[in-house]
Amino acid sequence: MFVSAIIDGIALGFIFLMLSLGLSIIFGLMRIVNFAHGSLFTLGAYLGFEVASRTGNIAYGILAASLIGLVGLAMERSLLKAKREPMIQVIITTGLMMLLDRLAWLRWGDVPHIWIPRGLEGVVRYGPIIMHSYRLFIIVVGAAISVLAYYLFTKTRYGLFVRAGIDDREMIQSLGVNIERLFTMTFAIGTLLAGIAGFLLVPWQGVYPLIGTNYLLYAFAIVIIGGMGSIEGTVIASILVGIIQQLCAYYAPYLTEISIGIAMFLVLVTRPEGLLGKVIE
C-alpha cells in the first residue's frame, strides 16, 4: 500500500507540476497572481473530456485541452494587457474565475463527469505491489511534459529571456526583448499546461465545476513552498505535495488538507521566499 501511495503521489505531483508551473512562471515574470488559473484547469478538463469521450482517443483529448492556451492568450491580450497594476489584475482574474466556474456549472451541471481510456482501466501487478495503469500513464506523460518544459526554459532563447525577465524584467527590455510578447507567450504556455493537467485528472478524479478552483489552493501552496518564479522549486514542491497528499489520503484522510497547510506554514516561517525562491526586493 505504501508503494501504491508513493506512485499515486508522484502521479498527482506531475498534475500539480503542470498546474503550478504556469502559475509560478506567470507570477515570477509578470507579477500577476492569476486567480482564473484553476478555472482554466477546469475548462481544459471539460474540453478534453468532451473530445476524448466522443472519439475514444486520449491523444485527441490532450490536444483539445491544450487549446486552453489560446483562451489564455486571448485573455492576456484583451483583458490583462490594458492594465498592468497588480491589484487590477487580481480583480480581473478573480472576476474571470467566477465567470468561468459559473459557465461550467451552467453547461455541465453539478454531477462529476468521468471518462477512462480503454486499455488503462486496470492495474499492473509487480509482486505484492499494485499500481493503477492510468496513474502510471500520468507519470509517463507528466515526465515527458516536464522534460519538454525543462528544455523550453533552460535550452531555448525564449526560456533564457523568461529566466532573465524573472530576475529583472526592466533590464531585459533594455537589452532588446519585447516584454509584452514575452508576457503573452508565457501566459499562453502556462494556461496550456493547466488545461492539459485538468484533462489528465479526469480519468482519475473526474471533472466538476469547482475542481480547478479547489486544486488552485494546492497550486498556491506549491508555489509558496517551492518559491515564486522558481522552476526547480516548483518541481520539487509539486512532487513533495503530491506524495504528502496521497500518503494522507491512504493512511489519514482527515489530515490531507491540514498537512499541506502545515507544510506551507513551516516554509513561510523559516524561509518566506520558498525552498528555492528569491527574496523579492
Partner 1 sequence: MAVLEVNDIRVHIGPLYILQGVSIKLRKGETFFIIGRNGAGKSTLLKTLIGFIKPSSGSIVFEGKGITYEPPYVRAKLGIRYVPDNKRLFTSLSVEENLLAPLLAEGLSKDKAMDRIEYVYNIFPDLKKLRKLKASQLSGGQQQMLNLARAIVSPNLKLLLADEPVEGLSPVFVSKILNAFSELANEGVTMIIVETMPVIMKELSGRCAILNAGRVVFESSTEELLRNEIVMKTYFGLA
Contact residue for partner 1 among 125, 175, 253, 270 (CB under 8 A)? 175
For partner 1, which is the closer residue by CB, 127 or 176? Answer: 176
For partner 1, which is the closer residue by CB, 153 or 199? Answer: 153
The CB-of-14 to partner 1 minimum distance in angstroms stands at: 24
The answer to the question of residue 164 lying near partner 1 (CB under 8 A) is: yes
The answer to the question of residue 82 lying near partner 1 (CB under 8 A) is: no
The CB-of-231 to partner 1 minimum distance in angstroms stands at: 10
Contact residue for partner 1 among 179, 185, 217, 255 (CB under 8 A)? 179
The answer to the question of residue 176 lying near partner 1 (CB under 8 A) is: yes
The answer to the question of residue 113 lying near partner 1 (CB under 8 A) is: no
Q: Are 32 and 80 in contact (CB under 8 A)?
A: yes
The answer to the question of residue 178 lying near partner 1 (CB under 8 A) is: yes
User: Which span (58-66, 175-183, 185-193, 263-271) binds partner 1, by CB under 8 A?
Assistant: 175-183
The CB-of-35 to partner 1 minimum distance in angstroms stands at: 27
User: Which span (4-12, 100-108, 162-170, 242-250) binds partner 1, by CB under 8 A?
Assistant: 162-170
C-beta neighbour count of 82 within 10 angstroms:
9
The answer to the question of residue 172 lying near partner 1 (CB under 8 A) is: yes
Q: Which three cell numbers stand for residue 136?
A: 502510471
Give the chain as a DSSP string.
Answer: -HHHHHHHHHHHHHHHHHHHHHHHHHHHHH----TTHHHHHHHHHHHHHHHHHHH--HHHHHHHHHTHHHHHHHHIIIIITT---HHHHHHHHHHHHHHHHHHHHHHH-SS-B----TT-SSEEEETTEEEEHHHHHHHHHHHHHHHHHHHHHHHSHHHHHHHHHHH-HHHHHHTT--HHHHHHHHHHHHHHHHHHHHHHHHHHH-B-TTHHHHHHHHHHHHHHHH-TT-HHHHHHHHHHHHHHHHHHHHH-GGGHHHHHHHHHHHHHHH-TT-SS-----
Number of residues that bind partner 1 (CB under 8 A): 19
C-beta neighbour count of 87 within 10 angstroms:
8
Contact residue for partner 1 among 167, 258, 261, 262 (CB under 8 A)? 167
User: Which span (75-83, 170-178, 189-197, 199-207) binds partner 1, by CB under 8 A?
Assistant: 170-178
d(CA 228, CA 262): 18
User: Which span (2-10, 177-185, 192-200, 237-245) binds partner 1, by CB under 8 A?
Assistant: 177-185
User: Which span (122-130, 169-177, 184-192, 250-258) binds partner 1, by CB under 8 A?
Assistant: 169-177
Contacts with partner 1 by CB under 8 A lie at 157, 160-161, 163-164, 166-168, 170-179, 278
